[in-house]
């Protein structure tokens, strides 16, 4: 038997500082200076807002010390372990045109289908860093370790910090958080919006800063303004009120940066323990151009697991409001609390998402952060926490229904494909990777093998049904056509169910005493087709062969053979690999040989009109059948 197998194989050849003691400077008479330099001023004042066109910074307790593919397992018979021959070539780009799915650009990321899935060693290493340890409790709240373990550092983004700059404690604290543990590689453009006396510059000058910083795609504003008591996000009803609070050019330049540079503005909600955020947080409500370009941030207290007692709630801004830690933050130069320090956490998170998905627009990034936030308080979006807690574990994972690109401009739900033994085995041997897409159109990298299940060949059923050949005989030669399910596959590997195959066969026999020895050999020729909605683009011409050797003695017949097996031919797979910078999906063509190194083997024993057969498929389910055939005469 071993010799027969050998012969047949040959024949068929496939992520506090304590305040120093010092004399109180005369500058501490300035409330603004006290807020900017709490470590130098011991006198504590209220957090009331300044006069019209003044700006609040920090507030609260700024003083030091205050503060989820189902991997389908292949079943069945043994495999030779041979690797399929594959040739891969880059294909041209094709536009992403599926309805209701946004258009993006660029590369693929490893998939984390399971919540919390990341290498435990990488997570442990991320948590051991000095930067992480400074604010470990707060970073655990946003699940930062997962982002760091996955390699995100905020590179290729620039955050413009509109603050006190090098003049004060506050601006340095905000900068240190924005460029700290969350996004250590982000670029920081620090802009001083106070003069040398600690007074804020005009809004027109701030507008010029925004206009001139064309490299920044994220702007952090840990400050606010109001002109009269009671004015807050809920009482702002129109654009004119915002302009009256600030200036026309200020509003125009923020709008221009959002629309023309796709910038995102991250704004602190304020520290008055009110039910509404401050007035400037209402900008998107009255300036529609800022929709999708603005995030309002309230502060979480990681000690009490609730909204910080100083923090304003989201209020009217709830649909673009998110929660982040802001209490007892180690800011590198001491300790600080306030929504001022929750805001740069979110700014850094925006940089992380832009790094991971550089093709996403501002509107898509803000929507992603909102959608993946962990719900807090009342279920759903609420007036206190908005969308909930920023979550850097969930944000990089696929969201919503997953799609595969199976043809130019054609997307389909990602489902497991059932592939016939030949196709499935050869693709799995090739160990190919491809890109799939989530509901945000983000590309994720996956193993194609995890989306393929073997489809039973059904050879036994074919035997029971009988052959459906259309043939003619000429001596010991047979010629004709038959239908074959050798390449039958479905899902995104869809092929024709039963392709017509032409064949030529040869029969021979000899007597050895009372034993009749016989052999049947057949060569098949076909030109199979793939369905249009398939990753299989085409097949070459296919040549198959089958061999049967047998012996008959009296009423007994025994056979061993290799059923129809591909000996020549290949197929071309066209797999999406990610997105290009211009927003198009990229593809790569893979030519996979279908030639099998180990054919299926079939063994039968027949006694009179009863036949028992066993088919050893090299992959997939082995098959066994018993059938009886006879003839009734009258």
**What is the pLDDT, as a whole number, of residue 466?**
59
Helix (H, G, I), strand (E, B) or coil at 487: coil
Q: How far is CA 25 from the centre of its chain?
A: 53
The per-residue pLDDT for 533 is: 82
Distance from C-alpha of 112 to C-alpha of 109, rounded to nearest angstrom:
9
Pick the CATH number of 56-64+115-371 from 3.40.50.1110, 1.10.1740.10, 3.40.50.150, 3.40.50.200: 3.40.50.200
Query: Of 562, 564, 567, which Cα lies nearest the Cα of 550?
Result: 562
Question: What is the Cα–Cα distance from 158 to 190, expressed in whole angstroms?
Answer: 10
Look at residue 581 in the predicted model and tell me its pLDDT.
Answer: 64
Least Cα distance to 620 among 461, 418, 485, 448 occurs for: 418
Q: 86-112 as b/e, with b when 16 or more CB fall inside 10 Å? A: beeeebebbebebeebbbbbbbbbebb
- End-to-end distance of the chain based on CA atoms, in angstroms? 43
DSSP3 helix / strand / coil % (the chain, rounded to 5):
25, 30, 45
Alpha-carbon span 626 to 606, nearest angstrom: 9
User: Would you state the pLDDT for residue 167?
Assistant: 78
Residue length of the chain: 634
Domain ranges of the chain: 56-64+115-371
Residue-level pLDDT at 415: 81
The residues with which 323 forms a beta bridge, in sequence order, are 298, 389
- List the one residue out of 224, 209, 208 whose CA is nearest residue 165: 209
Running along the chain, 634 residues long, what does each successive block of 10 average in pLDDT?
33 26 45 44 33 37 24 28 53 32 37 58 91 95 94 94 89 95 96 88 96 97 76 94 95 97 97 94 96 97 96 97 97 94 98 92 96 96 97 91 80 81 82 89 87 67 62 83 78 74 88 93 87 86 91 93 87 88 82 85 89 79 78 55
In the prediction, which pLDDT does 395 show?
94
Cross-strand pairs, 404: 412, 436
* pLDDT confidence of residue 421: 73
Q: How far apart are CA 413 and CA 444, in angstroms?
A: 14
pLDDT score for 343: 98
């Amino acid at each position: 038997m071993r010799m027969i197998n050998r012969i047949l194989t040959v024949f068929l050849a496939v992520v506090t500082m304590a305040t120093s003691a010092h004399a109180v400077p005369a500058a501490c008479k300035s409330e603004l200076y006290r807020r900017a330099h709490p470590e130098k001023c011991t006198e504590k004042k209220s957090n009331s807002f300044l006069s019209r066109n003044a700006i609040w910074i920090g507030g609260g307790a700024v003083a030091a010390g205050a503060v989820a593919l189902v991997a389908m397992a292949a079943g069945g018979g043994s495999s030779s372990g041979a690797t399929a021959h594959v040739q891969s070539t880059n294909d041209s780009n094709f536009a992403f045109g599926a309805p209701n799915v946004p258009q993006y650009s660029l590369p693929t990321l490893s998939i984390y289908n399971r919540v919390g899935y990341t290498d435990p060693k990488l997570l442990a290493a991320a948590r051991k860093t000095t930067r992480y340890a400074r604010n470990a409790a707060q970073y655990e709240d946003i699940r930062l370790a997962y982002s760091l373990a996955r390699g995100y550092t905020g590179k290729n983004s620039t955050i413009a910090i509109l603050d006190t700059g090098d003049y004060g404690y506050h601006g340095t604290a905000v900068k240190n958080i924005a460029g700290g543990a969350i996004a250590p590689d982000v670029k920081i453009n620090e802009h001083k919006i106070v003069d040398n006396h600690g007074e804020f510059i005009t809004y027109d000058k701030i507008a010029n800063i925004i206009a001139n910083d064309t490299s920044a795609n994220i702007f952090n504003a840990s400050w606010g303004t109001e002109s009269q008591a009671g004015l807050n996000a809920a009482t702002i009803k129109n654009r004119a009120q915002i302009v009256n609070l600030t200036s026309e050019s200020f509003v125009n330049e923020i709008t221009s940066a959002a629309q023309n540079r796709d910038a995102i503005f991250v704004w602190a909600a304020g520290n008055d323990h009110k039910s509404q955020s401050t007035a400037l947080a209402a900008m998107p409500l009255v300036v529609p151009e800022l929709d999708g370009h603005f995030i309002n941030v309230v502060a979480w207290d990681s000690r009490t697991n609730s909204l910080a007692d100083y923090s304003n709630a989201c209020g009217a801004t709830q649909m673009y409001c998110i929660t982040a830690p802001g209490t007892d933050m180690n800011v590198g130069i001491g300790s600080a609390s306030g929504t001022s320090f929750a805001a740069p956490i979110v700014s850094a998170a925006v940089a992380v998402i832009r790094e991971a998905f550089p093709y996403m627009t501002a509107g898509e990034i803000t929507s992603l952060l909102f959608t993946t936030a962990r719900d807090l308080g009342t279920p759903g979006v609420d007036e206190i926490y908005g969308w909930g807690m920023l979550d850097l574990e969930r944000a990089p994972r696929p969201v919503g229904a997953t799609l595969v690109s199976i043809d130019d401009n054609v997307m389909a739900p990602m489902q497991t494909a059932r592939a016939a033994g030949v196709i499935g085995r050869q693709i799995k041997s090739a160990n190919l990777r491809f890109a799939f897409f989530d509901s945000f159109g983000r590309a994720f990298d996956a193993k194609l093998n995890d989306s393929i299940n073997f489809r039973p060949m059904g050879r036994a059923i074919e035997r029971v049904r009988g052959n459906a050949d259309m043939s003619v005989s000429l001596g010991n030669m047979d010629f004709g056509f038959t239908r074959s399910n050798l390449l039958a596959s479905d899902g995104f590997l869809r092929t024709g169910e039963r392709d017509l195959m032409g064949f030529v066969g040869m029969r021979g026999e000899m007597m050895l005493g009372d034993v009749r020895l016989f052999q049947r050999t057949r060569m098949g020729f076909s030109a199979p087709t793939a369905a249009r909605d398939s990753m299989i683009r085409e097949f070459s011409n296919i040549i198959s062969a089958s061999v049967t050797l047998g012996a008959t003695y009296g009423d007994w017949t025994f056979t061993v053979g290799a059923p129809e097996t591909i000996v020549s031919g290949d197929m071309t797979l066209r797999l999406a690999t990610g997105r290009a910078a211009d927003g198009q999906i990229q593809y790569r063509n893979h030519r996979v040989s279908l030639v099998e190194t180990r054919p299926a083997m079939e063994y039968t024993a027949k006694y009179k009109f009863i036949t028992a057969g066993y088919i050893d498929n090299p992959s997939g389910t082995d098959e066994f059948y018993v059938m009886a055939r006879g003839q009734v005469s009258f």
